[in-house]
Amino acid sequence: MSASQRPSTVPSAVPAAVPIAWVRREPPLTPAAVTATGRASHALARATSARVDAGSAGLRAAGRRADGDLDRLVVLGDTEDLPWCAGARYLGWEAGVLVPTERRPTVPTDILAAQARALLLGAALVIVLPDALVGMPMPGRTVDGPTLRAWIGE
């Protein structure tokens, strides 16, 4: 057997890709955050601003911009304070990351979370979605209506 035909005994530094499917989660996780992208992120900012203006305290938000516009908004808070808007996804904590409340990955979440943290270079807030992996700074203070409206140019 030539050297090129011998099996390698050196483990690969990168694990083989494992397909991940997302299936229904029963029971759902308790919502701890809500996120939206694109136009829905603007609606979420308005809904969050309305909740804050109505007296909901303790909501924290992180936003990400693309091409000068709000691309993704994440709002964290107590379940009963989280705003609702069409097109938003509710998230819950599992293995130290936020994941959809009603869907779960077919691989163990702790393994998926560790890989996500490694890919996102230690981002404080890690969100694992079926169609996206998001890393953001953890919002440290509560958000106010004027800040939210400024994010969307109102």
For the stretch 113-151, pLDDT in tens is: 999 999 998 799 999 999 989 999 999 889 988 888 888
Domain boundaries, the chain: 28-151
User: Virtual CA dihedral for 10, 14, 17, 22, nearest 10 degrees?
Assistant: 130
β-strand pairing of 89-94 with 125-129? unpaired
Tally of CB atoms within 10 A around 116: 21
∠ at Cα 91 (60, 19), nearest 5°? 135
Lowest mean pLDDT of 7-16, 72-81, 100-109, 117-126, name the range.
7-16
∠ at Cα 85 (46, 89), nearest 5°? 120
Confidence (pLDDT) at 13: 39
Q: Please give the Cα distance from 84 to 120 (Å, whole number).
A: 28
Confidence (pLDDT) at 138: 93
Confidence of residue 70 (pLDDT cuts 50, 70, 90): low
Top mean pLDDT of 24-33, 60-69, 142-151 is at 24-33
Q: Which amino acid is at 53?
A: D
The DSSP bridge partners found for residue 48 are none
**Would you call 127 helix, strand, or coil by DSSP?**
strand
CA 139, chain centre distance (Å): 13
Top mean pLDDT of 31-35, 65-69, 104-108 is at 31-35
The DSSP bridge partners found for residue 75 are 34, 61
